[in-house]
Structure 1
C-alpha cells in the first residue's frame, strides 16, 4: 500500500512536465507532503527508473527513509526524467495512471 495517493503523484507528474514554469509550485507541493508521503514518492520514482522492482517497493520506501540526507524536493527535482519515472513507477505498482490523469485534463 502506497503512503501517498495516486492523485498527488499524478499532480506532481503534471507539474514536472510543465518544466521551469512550475518549479516553485512543484517544490512547495513536495515540501508540504509529510515524511511518509515524501519517502513513498522517492520510492515510486526509484521503481519507475528501475532501481527497485515493484515487489521491492517496501524496501525502496525504507531505503528512502534511511538515506534521506537532502530535502526531497531538491533530490527529486534534480532527477532527470522525474515525470516519466513517477509514471512508470505507478504503472509498475499497478496504479491506473490514465484514470487519475483524467482529473487533470
Structure 2
C-alpha cells in the first residue's frame, strides 16, 4: 500500500471545509420584491471574494508543501475514479506533471482544487480507497 505525504488529519480538515464551501446559502434580500425569472437569475451563488471558508481553504492548501499538494491532487483523482489504487503511482506522476506545468504551482493548485465540484466527497472517497477514515474514531461523549 502506498503511503501518503499528507496526513489524515490535514485531509480531514480539508474535507470538512470543502463540505462547508459546497453548501453555501443563496444571498437573501427579502425586501427586493423581485422574481428570479425577472432578474435573469442574478441571485445565485457567486464568488465575491468575501467567502471566509474559501479563503481559509485556499490559505491552508497554499501552505502545504509540494508533496502534500501533489498527493492531494492525485487523491482527488482517485476519488473521482480517474484511476485505481493499483494505478496510484501513475496518478501521482500525472499530478507531478500538472504541478510542474503551472507557472505559479501553489496558487494554481488552489484554484484547480477549489474549482472541483464536490471536492470534499472526492477526497473522502480517495481516502476510503486507501482504507483510511477521515473522521475521528474517538468516541463521542
Same fold (TM over 0.5): yes
Divergent runs of 4+, >6 A: none
> Is the aligned partner of 1:81 residue 2:118?
yes
Gaps (5+ residues) in structure 2?
22-50
What SS is found at the alignment partner of 2:5? Answer: coil
Is it true that 1:48 corresponds to 2:79 in the alignment? yes
TM-score by length of 2: 0.67
Corresponding position of 1:15: 17
Could you tell me which residue of structure 1 aligns to residue 41 of structure 2?
none
Report the equivalent of 2:68: 37
Larger Cα Rg: Structure 1 or Structure 2? 2
Give the Å deviation of 1:12.
Answer: 0.4
Partner of 1:6: 8
More helix as a share of residues = 1
1: distance between equivalents of 2:63 and 2:135? Answer: 25
Aligned length: 101
Aligned-pair distance for 1:21?
4.1
Match of 1:24 in 2: 55
Q: What's 2:95 paired with? A: 64
Stretches of structure 1 that go unaligned for 5 or more consecutive residues are: none
Q: Secondary structure at the match of 1:80?
A: coil
User: Residue 59 of structure 1: CA displacement?
Assistant: 1.6
How big is the shift at 1:85?
0.2
- For the aligned residues, what is the CA RMSD? 1.5
